[in-house]
Structure 1
């Protein structure tokens, strides 16, 4: 019996040493004279994206595979040179895809016939100055790029914004707990546990609007990239003790 009592005492001391915030909502002890309330809340803040990432590439076609690849390599060299001339660092240019596919002609009741080959080479480019990305797009097209996808917008260092969203989430959860407690004729006694349930770091789910210069406009008209605003959010689960 002494051994069992000592073991129970040690377990009790170990449980007391664990901070309440570190305990999960599922393992938080429920007091017999208290009411438990679990709340999920999301805090949000808005930021202007300062990073733009796009994919730019060259698609070429030729009767032979070697010719398609050779022409593609020459044009891609010019595209890379244009990126470097626009001030894009080598660390911000990464090959995303290289491909070579045969092109077929289809005729009824006949097997397909290879008519040539299509070569593709695509790079992912990160623009650390969104304001200059539109002019860089124009330079890419002039250098020979004929395939562009994006850009995708993001916040380069979202930690401060995430902290603001986390604080907002806790504030919203506490306000909701106060509402429920008042409606039930109780009061919020304390917070028993907090779990961070997820976050959104502000990566754009869809490309922003690109405004391209029309052919009849002046020759110095340029593509404009409009970053807009993106939402950064954090979600928390909190357990409150009501009395």
Structure 2
């Protein structure tokens, strides 16, 4: 705490930490000089010396070494793992089946009439595809609907009838008869028939995926060899292989001489391509 003294004979000089007193002015009281307070009132007490071996002695505490278990120490000259090299590979195959998306649609003034017309057309479609040799397990209903039809005029909606529809997926395992099946559907259903599309595929994708995976790994291995040679190192053991998101088999355009031109609607099966990506990590020695 600071103390104040009236300037005069008893004032402390500035070297003591205070301010030099101002000269007295006649008719005014003498100014005060502010002195600096000492940092501590009392000197710090010395700590008693503890004998060696005291529980709190830092020198006697056991030294504990902490290391990360998930990061082993690297020895000088030991092989190092490279960051990994991505590889991509693809394989193609001729499709052996076709999936035809077809359906029927009918419109009538009443819901009952629309549903009955749709049922007659759907029955004709099913009889047609069965006559083409399509098995029951390869015919599946994908959608069924019955909705009102409105005519909007001058901001007002007027009910004009009802629309009934049903869609099917038909799997043709004899791919050479795909055009005949489509033609049979359109002949049997007439104006109510609808063909939404056809997709070609392979029944067993295991062999196609295996060849694509082999091509992807070969590409990654070739990249790792090249980078090891460029860095003046040699390729060591394989550390890990990770397969990334792979593109499923999808239709791929084929040469014109492979196109199917059988009876019925002409279709082009093309080829099915599968793509795989992998990342291979090797040690560099």
Q: Same fold (TM over 0.5)?
A: yes
Q: Give, in whole Å, the separation in 1 of the partners of 2:144 and 2:213.
A: 41
Q: Is the aligned partner of 1:129 residue 2:171?
A: no
Q: Which residue of 1 aligns with 2:124?
A: 78
- SS of the residue corresponding to residue 167 of structure 2 reads strand
Runs of at least 5 residues in structure 1 that lack an aligned partner in the other structure: 1-11, 13-26, 214-219
Q: Which residue of 2 aligns with 1:178?
A: 225
Q: TM-score normalised to the size of structure 2?
A: 0.67
Q: Which residue of 2 aligns with 1:222?
A: 264
Q: Is the aligned partner of 1:141 residue 2:186?
A: yes
Q: 1:22-42 deviations in whole A, cap 9, x for unaligned?
A: xxxxx8978553242311111
- SS of the residue corresponding to residue 225 of structure 1 reads coil
Bigger relative contact order, structure 1 or 2 (CA pairs below 8 A, ≥6 apart): 1
Structure number with higher helix proportion = 1
Per the alignment, do residues 235 and 28 of structure 1 end up closer, same or farther by CA in structure 2, a change over 3 Å counting? farther
Runs of at least 5 residues in structure 2 that lack an aligned partner in the other structure: 1-68
Higher radius of gyration, 1 or 2: 2
Q: Which consecutive segments of 4 or more residues in structure 1 shift more than 4 A?
A: 27-32
Q: Give, in whole Å, the separation in 1 of the partners of 2:72 and 2:241.
A: 14
Any conservation in 2 of the 1:49–1:153 contact (CA below 8 Å)? yes
- SS of the residue corresponding to residue 81 of structure 1 reads helix
Does 65-74 or 27-36 show the bigger shift? 27-36
Q: Please report how far the alpha carbon of residue 155 of structure 1 lies from its aligned counterpart in structure 2 after TM superposition.
A: 1.1
Q: Give, in whole Å, the separation in 2 of the partners of 1:236 and 1:158.
A: 18
Q: Is the aligned partner of 1:233 residue 2:233?
A: no
Q: TM-score normalised to the size of structure 1?
A: 0.78
- SS of the residue corresponding to residue 224 of structure 1 reads coil
Any conservation in 1 of the 2:252–2:273 contact (CA below 8 Å)? no
Any conservation in 2 of the 1:53–1:124 contact (CA below 8 Å)? yes
Q: Which residue of 1 aligns with 2:26?
A: none
Aligned residues: 209
Any conservation in 2 of the 1:28–1:193 contact (CA below 8 Å)? no
Q: Give, in whole Å, the separation in 2 of the partners of 1:173 and 1:65.
A: 61
Q: How does 1:85-234 map to 2 (within 5 A)?
A: 85-109=131-155, 111-144=156-189, 146-204=193-251, 222-234=264-276
